Amino acid sequence: GAGVSQTPSNKVTEKGKYVELRCDPISGHTALYWYRQSLGQGPEFLIYFQGTGAADDSGLPNDRFFAVRPEGSVSTLKIQRTERGDSAVYLCASSVTGPASPLHFGNGTRLTVT
Amino acid sequence: GESVGLHLPTLSVQEGDNSIINCAYSNSASDYFIWYKQESGKGPQFIIDIRSNMDKRQGQRVTVLLNKTVKHLSLQIAATQPGDSAVYFCAENPNTGNQFYFGTGTSLTVIP
């Protein structure tokens, strides 16, 4: 079946601009996660949704970052006033129920802020 | 924060040999562990998982061992193939947490 889909695969933006990254999880998965991965590092947690609500947003670095999942399926990660330090691969994952089940990742969106 | 680390950042093995990738974790409350494989330009791919009530779990060509006493996890890959070349991550989930914590990763290179 279809896996987690993320669009765009690459995004180049100028410092100060606003960007939206989209994640389409595996159908039926109630849990959705956003992680960020810098070069040579493991993924770092940003936010976790259970259904439509953000169950844990403790990983969001600051208030420039926001994510929504209005219908409990597709999620959008929004970054305002982008900074060069935001450059990374943003990974989305979904799981059947949440932290007690495996995360299945998409291929990520590579964000480059110039 | 959590600390999940790997003993060896790089590992090279001959094709056909067995590979062992190690991982240390710091949170004794962690009760669920996953190994992921990540190829260049792709997202992490689930390999195998294990819960803290088990010491060993086997999959196809892979075995995960969990030693809770010393907080150590290992991934064994049998008859390593060129397609196994990738970065391998261990991830842990504490039983009170919503997130998985990932280590830095080990880069496995299989020499034909």
**pLDDT per residue of chain B (112 residues) written in tens, 0 to 9:** 344 554 458 999 999 999 999 999 988 889 999 999 999 999 999 999 999 999 999 999 999 999 999 999 999 999 999 999 999 999 999 876 788 999 889 999 999 9
Q: Kindly report each contact of residues A27-30 with a partner whose C-beta sits within 8 Å and lies 24 or more positions away, as own/partner.
A: A27/A1, A27/A2, A27/A73, A28/A96, A29/A94, A29/A95, A29/A96, A29/A104, A30/A72, A30/A96, A30/A97, A30/A98
pLDDT at A5 over 80: yes
Question: Are B102 and A43 within 8 A, CB to CB?
Answer: yes
What tokens appear for A8 in the block? Answer: 């765009």
Buried b (16+ CB within 10 A) or exposed e, B30-67: bbbbbbbbbeeeebbebbbbbeeeeeeeeeeebbbbbe
Does the beta carbon of A34 lie under 8 angstroms from any beta carbon of chain B?
A: no
Top residue of B2, B37, B99 to mutate, by most chain A CBs within 10 Å, is: B99
Question: Are A107 and B43 within 8 A, CB to CB?
Answer: yes
